[in-house]
């Protein structure tokens, strides 16, 4: 009876565990195995080369580190610009103010759209046709025609433009989390501070900031993890790696896999990248533990 009972309980988790084992655990193990082989994805024979793939990544692959730097650059812009904007908006909405719901609904529209749609629409707005280039028309309109520019087809500005569109797509999401965090701060704290004679800035600095640090850390970790892995936006906005100017790690992995048919090398790149991501989020997590 007891045995039958336990067996029955396993039926509940069986489908989830089966799908998870096949489509998560097996690929997870294979990534580590394949990382040590040279393989084109089709042949029956794989050549074991040990850690040579990793050696190549660290010693020779300059385009990989260029891609890592590009992703870091976008991430730094997202961490600062996007999150500061999100925090300011959340702070502005965290009060008795009209149309609060309207703002909340509107700010979260960009995050629900797909990166393909966002990329193509923005590409259409800021680059493709001179006639429809709103940003350029605006510069011409306010008397600054020398600022008119093909933002996405200039290697100098392409990456920054990508980063800005990425921020446009992502800030609403940080806004929501910040706002939820701000609303957990008891109003009485602000009341008490005001009675004691604190001004708005003081109570912001002494109450809001310290209580929000855990939320800020969560948003920072998620921003880093999300932004470092960005690539769909780049494909739809720029069209590809743009001779390395807008290449990012995931695009490099895809190129190793589909472009040069080096499946083992693609896996090794994936592992290297995954380790970096885990390390970053671990450091940020430790940092948050300390400051709490």
Partner 1 sequence: MQGVAYYKTKKIITNTIIHIFLISVAITCLYPLLWMIISSLKTQDMIFKDISLIPHQFRFENYVQAWREGGFGRNFLNSMIYTTSVVFGIVMISSMAAYAFSRLRFPGSKFLFFMFMAAMMIPIPGSFVALYVLLNKLHLRNTPFGYILCMINVGLSTSIFLLKTFFDKMPKELEDAARIDGCSKLGIWFHVALPLAKPVLAVVIVLNALTVWNEYILALIIFDNRQYMPLQVALQSFQGEFVTNYPLLMAGLTITALPIIIIYLFMQKYIVKGVTQGALVG
| C-beta of 101 vs 156, nearer to partner 1 | 101
Does 66 bind partner 1 (CB under 8 A)? Our answer is no
- Which 146-175 residues touch partner 1, going by CB under 8 A? 168, 172-173
Task: Give the residue, chosen from 56, 104, 204, 288, that forms a contact with partner 1 under the rule CB under 8 A.
Answer: 104
| C-beta of 59 vs 129, nearer to partner 1 | 129
- Which 26-65 residues touch partner 1, going by CB under 8 A? 26-28, 30-31, 34, 41
CB of 167 to partner 1, least distance (A): 11
Strand spans (E) along 168-229: none
Residue 275 Cα distances to 198, 232, 272, 279, 292, angstroms:
46, 22, 5, 6, 26
CB of 39 to partner 1, least distance (A): 9
Q: Which of 170, 144, 147 is nearest to 157 (CA)?
A: 147
In angstroms, the CA 250 to CA 264 distance is 15
| C-beta of 156 vs 201, nearer to partner 1 | 201
In angstroms, the CA 83 to CA 69 distance is 20
With contacts defined by CB under 8 A, name the span among 60-68, 147-155, 189-197, 226-234 that binds partner 1.
226-234
Q: Which of 65, 35, 55 is nearest to 247 (CA)?
A: 65
In angstroms, the CA 151 to CA 159 distance is 9
Does 269 bind partner 1 (CB under 8 A)? Our answer is yes
């Amino acid at each position: 009876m007891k045995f039958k009972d336990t067996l029955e309980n396993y039926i509940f988790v069986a489908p989830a565990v089966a799908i998870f084992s096949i489509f998560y655990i097996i690929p997870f193990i294979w990534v580590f195995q394949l990382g040590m082989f040279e393989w084109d994805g089709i042949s029956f024979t794989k050549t074991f080369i040990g850690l040579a793939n990793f050696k190549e990544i660290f010693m020779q692959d300059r385009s990989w580190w260029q891609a890592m730097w590009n992703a870091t650059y976008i991430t730094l812009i997202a961490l600062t610009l996007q999150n500061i904007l999100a925090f300011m908006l959340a702070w502005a909405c965290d009060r008795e103010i009209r149309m609060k719901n309207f703002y909340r609904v509107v700010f979260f529209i960009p995050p629900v759209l797909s990166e393909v749609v966002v990329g193509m629409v923005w590409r259409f707005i800021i680059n493709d046709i001179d006639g429809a280039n709103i940003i350029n028309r605006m510069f011409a309109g306010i008397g600054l025609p020398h600022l008119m520019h093909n933002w996405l087809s200039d290697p100098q500005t392409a990456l920054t433009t990508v980063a800005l569109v990425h921020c446009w797509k992502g800030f609403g999401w940080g806004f929501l989390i910040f706002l939820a965090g701000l609303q957990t701060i008891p109003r009485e704290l602000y009341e008490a501070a005001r009675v004691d004679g604190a001004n708005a800035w003081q109570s912001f600095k002494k109450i809001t900031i310290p209580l929000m640090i855990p939320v800020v850390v969560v948003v920072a970790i998620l921003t880093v993890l999300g932004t470092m892995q960005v690539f769909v936006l780049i494909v739809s906005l720029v069209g590809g790696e743009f001779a390395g100017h807008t290449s990012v790690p995931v695009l490099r992995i895809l190129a190793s896999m589909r472009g040069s048919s080096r499946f083992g090398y693609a896996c090794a790149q994936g592992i290297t990248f995954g380790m970096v991501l885990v390390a970053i989020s671990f450091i940020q997590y430790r940092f948050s533990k300390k400051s709490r």
